[in-house]
Amino acid sequence: MLRHSLIDKISPTLIKQYSYCPVIVWMQVWLSVQEPLTDSMAIGKESTKPPEGRGQLYISTNKGATIIDEILEKDNHKVLVERKAYKSHNYSRYVEQVVTSYIIIREKIPGIRKVRLIVQGSERELELSEDLIKDIENIAKLVEETMRSEKPPAIRPDPKKCVSCWYKRYCPHY
């Protein structure tokens, strides 16, 4: 059954999963399947907790909900910090995820001009340009279209991804 509440708001996790494979997003909505938390995911969550005294923030707005690792004050602006325990072959997924969080919170927490990704201790800062934000908003529209469609996305599966994909047991393309 289609979960409309998911469609009304954008989700950083869904944006990241869509970038990995759009079929995953479709299956989560239409087949109501969800990968359980693995040991490595749990270890990753634990290892990316913010430093002592700087707790994570759960922020919910009319755009969606997200968990923010940290917001730093720097000169005359703010920096949104996202930590990742593992490197990814597709770094842009992490960028899409953190920019989605920014889109969710920007009206509630004004003054954020940059995002800082800390992946396995290696830092990279990105300016929140209009183009970057527009790109992510466009991906959010594609996610919404995928969630609304009764048919799974017509993609050509990538065997390298499929072999390690938990969702392959339900996947219409596998």
- CA separation for the pair 140, 97 (Å, rounded): 11
Instruction: Copy the structure tokens of residue 153.
Output: 């996305």
| Interaction between residue 49 and ligand SF4 (CB under 6 A) | no
Which of 14, 15, 23, 99 touches ligand SF4 (CB under 6 A)? 23
Q: What is the largest CA-CA distance in the chain?
A: 51
> From the CB of 35, what's the least distance to ligand SF4, in Å?
10
Residue 147 binds to ligand SF4 (criterion: CB under 6 A) = no
Instruction: Please tell me whether residue 140 binds ligand SF4 under the rule CB under 6 A.
Output: no
Give the position of tokens 């908003």: 137
Contact with ligand SF4 (CB under 6 A) among 14, 15, 21, 147: 21
Neighbouring CB atoms inside 10 A of 100's CB total 26
Residue 124 sits in the site that holds ligand SF4 (CB under 6 A): no
If the CB atoms of residues 132 and 170 are measured against ligand SF4, the closer one turns out to be 170
Could you say which residues in the range 56-95 bind ligand SF4, by CB under 6 A? none
Of 141 and 173, CB closest to ligand SF4: 173
Asked whether 146 and 25 are in contact (CB, 8 A), the reply is: yes
Nearest CA-CA partner of 102 in 89, 120, 115: 115
Contact between 50 and 56 under an 8 Å Cβ cutoff? The reply is yes
From 21-29, 58-66, 100-108, 124-132, give the range in contact with ligand SF4 by CB under 6 A.
21-29
Beta bridge partners of 127: 114
The one among 10, 14, 15, 24 contacting ligand SF4 by CB under 6 A: 24
CB contact burial 24-47 (16+ within 10 A = b; e otherwise): bbbbbbbeeeeeeeeeeeeeeeee
Q: Which is nearer to ligand SF4, 11 or 66 (CB)?
A: 11
Q: Which residue has the tokens 């300016």?
A: 127
Size of the site for ligand SF4 (CB under 6 A): 12
- Contact criterion met (CB below 8 Å) for 104 and 15: no
Contact residues for ligand SF4, defined by CB under 6 A = 21, 23-24, 157, 161-162, 165, 167-168, 171, 173-174
